[in-house]
Amino acid sequence: MSIDFIHTSDWHLGKKLFKESRLPEQEAFLSWLLVKIKKLQPKALLISGDIFDTPHPSSKAQALYYQFLKEVVDNSKTEIFIISGNHDSGRFLEAPIPFLKERAIHIVGSLEVQKKTYTFHRDKVSYHLFPYFRSHELYNYAREYFPEHLEGLDANSSDTGLLLDKLIENIFDFKKGQKNILLAHHLFGNGELSGSELGLSLSGLDTIPLSLIKEKFDYVALGHLHNHQYLSKSDPVICYSGSPIAFRFSERKNKKLNHVEVDEGVQVNEIPIPEFRKLFELKLNEKNYKENILELVKNLTKTDHESFLEVQISSDKPLRGVSDEIREMLKDSPIKLLSMQTRLLSSENIDRNTRVRKESGPEELFDDFYLQKYEGEKKVPKELKSLFLELLDEARSEN
């Protein structure tokens, strides 16, 4: 009989796009996932880090998380395995362990200098939970458990690699005849970054070489990169499940998670995740932007949540009032303009080294900036200048 699990990661509960909350879509995703779990009744759900977007998430984000965990426990026999990501506070995730472990929810949030369980044996499968950690935690751990490998080492890549190798050997419990599943949230091999991820590195290592994990595991459930992607398709399968929703306009929208069956081999079934809210990114120019936006409004298919739009317009002269104009065009449509940028074609080559006058106040700096950006203009238009001064007043009166 095969054993199966679902692999997901990078929920970033509580994350915002500009000032807009993404919780409605995150809630929609979790409801959708719950339906899948009820239907598939997988043996396990693996969540490979970045559960929350910040170390101390809002109460709403936390409520969503706990509600989801409870629903899974109430509606399935699925065990849940969770590791921390670089956005999470490992200790924060671990705090409710006394309650959660009794409900078959297992969390490893940090690498600690004390014996704790990193491996969970189940039937013919062992789950190895590798939490996110930084270099100093690795060195602290090494100092305690394998100091002989620290002697004479400085932080260059092969040394860190050796310590990681020792660490994997030391924290995980490998049992003969088991299929080994690794959960991790570091950068491994060469993944493709999508923009909303931070660069991660252990001192001396930008990414962890695949050679450190290849021989030891049968499926590697990675988190951190937001586009679903494989580093290896077999022996072992190494996969970033990606985030369930697009967090940036530029991020790829075809989101998936993996339903994995482990028998003699490893069989991956990808499950496409519905797009709960559409994100549109339009790169236009001053001649075609109106028709393109009207076209978008006309062809929009309905989703439960209003769509978000980012517009970039390239032009050879400053454009004024375009945001308002676009908002007016979108007035009766379920599309909200979140960001509007103008790209001045002639300003591309401006000498960026123009010296800033030392005595300049914000007003002068604004003038300088304007004249530099809009080449050929002699003076900041009155209207714009007074708007700026108003803003400046507002900013000064705050706190």
- State how far the Cα of 359 lies from the Cα of 374, in Å rounded to an integer: 23
Decide if residue 50 touches Mn ion (CB under 5 A).
Answer: yes
- Mark the segment that binds Mn ion (CB under 5 A) among 50-58, 105-113, 340-348, 353-361: 50-58
Helix or strand run (H / E) with residue 71: helix 59-75
- Mark the segment that binds Mn ion (CB under 5 A) among 11-19, 45-53, 59-67, 246-254: 45-53
Residue number with CB closer to Mn ion (1 or 198): 198
User: According to CB under 5 A, which one of 86, 126, 196, 307 is a site residue for Mn ion?
Assistant: 86
Residue number with CB closer to Mn ion (14 or 85): 85
Residue number with CB closer to Mn ion (86 or 126): 86
User: According to CB under 5 A, which one of 7, 106, 179, 224 is a site residue for Mn ion?
Assistant: 224
CB of 394 to Mn ion, least distance (A): 36
Q: Which residue is nearest to Mn ion (CB)?
A: 224
Contact assessment for residue 346 and residue 375, using Cβ atoms and an 8 Å cutoff: yes
Residue number with CB closer to Mn ion (221 or 380): 221
Q: Rounded to 5 degrees, what angle do the CA atoms 325, 331, 335 make?
A: 100
- State how far the Cα of 227 lies from the Cα of 43, in Å rounded to an integer: 25
Residue number with CB closer to Mn ion (12 or 179): 12
| Cα torsion 57, 60, 63, 65: sign | negative
- Mark the segment that binds Mn ion (CB under 5 A) among 61-69, 103-111, 224-232, 337-345: 224-232
Q: Express the helix, strand and coil content of the chain in percent, nearest 5 each.
A: 35, 25, 45
- Specify the residue for token string 């849940």: 80
b/e sequence 73-86, b meaning 16+ C-beta within 10 Å: beebebbbbbbbbb
According to DSSP, the residues that pair with 6 across neighbouring strands are 45, 259
CB of 109 to Mn ion, least distance (A): 14
For 312, list phi and psi in degrees, rounded to 5.
-120, 125
CB of 51 to Mn ion, least distance (A): 10
Residue number with CB closer to Mn ion (108 or 293): 108
Decide if residue 15 touches Mn ion (CB under 5 A).
Answer: no
CB of 396 to Mn ion, least distance (A): 37
- State how far the Cα of 362 lies from the Cα of 364, in Å rounded to an integer: 6
According to DSSP, the residues that pair with 282 across neighbouring strands are 311
User: According to CB under 5 A, which one of 14, 42, 57, 85 is a site residue for Mn ion?
Assistant: 85
Q: Considering only CA atoms, which of 246, 244, 164 is closest in space to residue 207?
A: 164
CB of 86 to Mn ion, least distance (A): 5
- Mark the segment that binds Mn ion (CB under 5 A) among 48-56, 71-79, 107-115, 363-371: 48-56
Distance from the Cα of residue 77 to its chain's centroid:
28
Helix or strand run (H / E) with residue 390: helix 382-397
- Mark the segment that binds Mn ion (CB under 5 A) among 86-94, 233-241, 288-296, 349-357: 86-94
- Mark the segment that binds Mn ion (CB under 5 A) among 80-88, 116-124, 166-174, 246-254: 80-88
Task: Look at the chain and count its residues.
Answer: 399
For 155, list phi and psi in degrees, rounded to 5.
-80, 70
Residue number with CB closer to Mn ion (50 or 94): 50
DSSP state of 199: P
Decide if residue 307 touches Mn ion (CB under 5 A).
Answer: no
β strands within 102-241, DSSP E: 105-108, 119-122, 125-129, 179-184, 219-222, 229-232, 237-240
Residue number with CB closer to Mn ion (14 or 42): 14
- Mark the segment that binds Mn ion (CB under 5 A) among 208-216, 223-231, 287-295, 372-380: 223-231
Residue number with CB closer to Mn ion (51 or 80): 51
Residue number with CB closer to Mn ion (43 or 185): 185
Q: Site mask, Mn ion, residues 181-220, x = CB under 5 A? A: ----------------------------------------
According to DSSP, the residues that pair with 216 across neighbouring strands are none
**How many angstroms separate the Cα of 308 from the Cα of each of 162, 296, 331, 335?**
46, 12, 13, 6
Chain contacts with Mn ion (rule: CB under 5 A): 50, 85-86, 224
